[in-house]
Structure 1
Amino acid sequence: MPDLSKTREKIDSVDRQIVALFEERMALAKEVAEYKIQTGKPVLDKNREQQKIQSLKGLVQNEYNVYPVEELFTQIMSISRKYQYSLISPTKEELPYHKLDSLPSKDTSTAVYFGEPGSYTQQAMNDYFGPSVKSFSASTFQSVMEAVHNQKADYGVLPIENSSTGGIDDIYDLLVHYDNNIIGEHVLKVDHVLAGLPGSSISDLKKVYSHPQGILQCKNFFDSHPEIKAVPYNSTSASAKRIAMEHDCSNGAIISPYAAKYYNLSILQTHLNSEYTNSTRFIVIAKEKIFLTNANKVSICFELPHKSGSLYNILSHFIYNDLNMTKIESRPIQGKPWEYRFFVDFEGNLTNPGVKNAIYGIKEEAVSLKILGNFQTI
């Protein structure tokens, strides 16, 4: 039986040699970075790395170690690239974003929000900008995006995620399609109520209208009332408006207490959402590439090569630069079956060296990268 203590001493000796050789290799990586800075050559040389991996695998004597050696040197090369990015990125142009201490005067700005008056989005807008902000509504998510893109509004407010039902896919797709930027976010506790015409009761209801997200968030109610049909509609506030205009006691709506009051509807049941802590995250968008000095969250999206390890390698940029990733979503890429675009939020400010380095590295290694914004929750 081997002497464990002696074996561990040998491992310690080998590890010291590995550390010394690793530091020597990183010093050589710095020389490569300096050469690439002078010549403008990219850090990532896929052909060179593949050839290098194959030659190293050929040196392995124990067949069991072929794959581990490939994995080891793949990671060493990845670390070397990140080190080189950190040396090269400060020499590149600054990110095309303008930093502001505060937004322009709210008295001269206009905001557009999703839904009819009385919507949760209008409430989020008022919380963010103040109730006196000049505003108008739009009936679709895309209409909000277009109003900001065409400069009919300075800012737009849209829901993007619910704590119970997750992200709203359409918003992610629109953020890719339009060149608008997220400049802020607001989290609003959502407390759905069931509303109907004055004098009506739950027993009168045959149909209940709401936005699809509202219906999903109140699944338990519909499970316990199978006689009532859930009808998806444009928005919670549009549902309230419809009920108020149709004067049909058999129709109800899942809406906010604010909308019930706005459209003079009776609240038939409170706290309708299945999850008590139900909250929705709203984003504030602008056309200009701006961010506030105190912004502490960055949102990006990227496409990756369709091969093993691509996502793992990209996410390692956050670890290397000590950035805390707070969210990741994926969406199918149109025209590319089974390929996906990834949306990532992480903590940081566009002025931080680690953020710049991570963005630069991801841009170099991803098929495409788009910065969606730098913002703070208010």
Structure 2
Amino acid sequence: MDLSELRVEIDKVDKQIVELFEKRMDIASQVADYKISTGKKVFDKEREDQKLRAVKELASSEFNKTGVEELFSHLMSMSRKLQYQKLASAGAAGNLPFIQIDSIDKASSRVCYQGAEGSYSEAAMKKYFGEEVNSFHVDTFRDAMAVLEDGSADYAVLPIENSTAGIVSEIYDLLTEYEHYIIGEEIIPIRHCLLGVPGTKLSDIKRVYSHPQSLMQSARFLSEHSHFEQISMKNNAFAARKVAQDKDKSQAAIASALAAKVYGLEILEEGINQADSNSTRFIIVTNRKVFLKDAHKVSICMEIPHEAGSLYHMMSHFIYNNLNMTKIESRPIEDKDWEYRFFIDFEGNLADSAVKNALRGLREEAKMLKILGNY
């Protein structure tokens, strides 16, 4: 047979495959009806594993066995998506344990941020809550989570991602550890300045203090002054405060213009970070399971089975529900070598049926799923 004849034969087989696929999905729809009436779960891993072993044995070669396993894995995944959709249409999607609110009472809220006065975290807080916000600061990210937990603060403002340095991994880990939720975000442009006590000249400086990321982001400027000793601090504002308190012209800090204003320092050089588009994304976190009615981004974290194809099948829930995934990150799971927890952002609102449907499917098939917030 020549190529054109072979293609005709493939077309015939493909037509039969489509007919059989539609017949299979029709049966899957009937299965969904049964599960709706009985309250039975859609995902039955033991049954699916048993089925995959059985169909593999029907194939004639090792190559085909692998192909059949992959094919039927996809077929069963599509069957589940159809069943989840039918459950949602029948009103069996379930209610998510989050309460929709119209707005945040910013005027009477107590807010904490990590760092010190003059930090970028303070700037993000004031941009979100307003200049007159009732606020206080803490030393560490964990401290911020702790004051939310004990009720000393209603909200915390925390950096989660920088456009050049990447994610703040500690924040991701703390979001899984504490029962706190993201309700908003604020993006602050980062423009580092070299600060010194009034009257300081560049030639006076011997030591520069700042956060390690700020030192890295200002590497080009610092390389031009290689005699500067670079000393890491927990926070840029801490560095500015130290320079102000020591009143030593041989010391300088890399921090914001706001820090210069707060601590009475002089801006010796402005915009010393090399990336003009550098910005940091801050999240607004609360200990209540609430979301704003106009929220448009959902953040989740999940742990999945440590086996081939698991992540693909999880991602398919976004595809089948026409949801746009905007970000995915992974973090190692403590005490589980080479296993990872995934953090995902996607567009949507917890009140949307497509979001509810996707989350139902993810919750049934993931080992662990936590909604981190809708904002």
TM over 0.5: yes
8 Å Cα contact 2:302-2:369 kept in structure 1: yes
Distance 1:208 1:301, change over 3 A: same
Question: 2-side partners of 1:313 and 1:183: how far apart?
Answer: 28
Superposition deviation, residue 63 in structure 1: 4.8
For this pair of structures, how many residues does the alignment match? 373
1:254 equivalent in structure 2: 254
Superposition deviation, residue 290 in structure 1: 0.7
Residue type of the partner of 2:315? L
Residue type of the partner of 1:236? N
Runs of 5+ consecutive residues of structure 1 not aligned to the other structure: none
Superposition deviation, residue 97 in structure 1: 0.5
1:222 equivalent in structure 2: 222
The secondary structure found in structure 1 opposite 2:275 is coil
2:20 equivalent in structure 1: 21
The secondary structure found in structure 1 opposite 2:339 is strand
Runs of 5+ consecutive residues of structure 2 not aligned to the other structure: none
Q: Deviations over 1:275-307 (max 9, x none)?
A: 110000000011111111110000000112222
Question: 1-side partners of 2:225 and 2:338: how far apart?
Answer: 38
Residue type of the partner of 1:207? R
1:112 equivalent in structure 2: 112
Residue type of the partner of 2:271? H
Question: 2-side partners of 1:68 and 1:51: how far apart?
Answer: 17
Q: Deviations over 1:92-130 (max 9, x none)?
A: 4300101112112x2211111121111111111111111
TM-score normalized by structure 2?
0.95
8 Å Cα contact 2:93-2:356 kept in structure 1: no
TM-score normalized by structure 1?
0.94
1:99 equivalent in structure 2: 100
Superposition deviation, residue 3 in structure 1: 4.5
1:9 equivalent in structure 2: 8
- Within a 5 Å distance, the mapping from 1:229-378 to structure 2 comes to 229-375=229-375
Superposition deviation, residue 345 in structure 1: 0.6
Question: 1-side partners of 2:208 and 2:290: how far apart?
Answer: 41
8 Å Cα contact 2:121-2:157 kept in structure 1: yes
Bigger mean CA deviation after superposition, 179-188 or 300-309: 300-309
Q: Deviations over 1:237-276 (max 9, x none)?
A: 1111111001122211110111112111111211111211
The answer to whether 1:48 aligns with 2:66 is no
Residue type of the partner of 1:69? V
Residue type of the partner of 1:290? V
Question: 2-side partners of 1:35 and 1:225: how far apart?
Answer: 73
The secondary structure found in structure 1 opposite 2:137 is strand
8 Å Cα contact 2:93-2:357 kept in structure 1: no
The answer to whether 1:34 aligns with 2:33 is yes
Question: 2-side partners of 1:201 and 1:291: how far apart?
Answer: 50
Residue type of the partner of 1:249? K
Bigger mean CA deviation after superposition, 53-62 or 237-246: 53-62
Residue type of the partner of 1:159? P
Question: 2-side partners of 1:200 and 1:118: how far apart?
Answer: 20
The secondary structure found in structure 2 opposite 1:20 is helix
The secondary structure found in structure 1 opposite 2:370 is strand
The answer to whether 1:212 aligns with 2:203 is no
Residue type of the partner of 1:247? K
Bigger mean CA deviation after superposition, 250-259 or 57-66: 57-66
The secondary structure found in structure 1 opposite 2:345 is strand
Residue type of the partner of 1:260? A
Superposition deviation, residue 213 in structure 1: 2.3
Poorly superposed stretches of 4+, deviation over 6 Å: none
2:77 equivalent in structure 1: 78
Superposition deviation, residue 38 in structure 1: 2.9
Bigger mean CA deviation after superposition, 359-368 or 13-22: 13-22
Q: Deviations over 1:53-81 (max 9, x none)?
A: 22222222355322222111111111111
Bigger mean CA deviation after superposition, 124-133 or 366-375: 124-133
8 Å Cα contact 2:317-2:362 kept in structure 1: yes
Superposition deviation, residue 190 in structure 1: 0.6
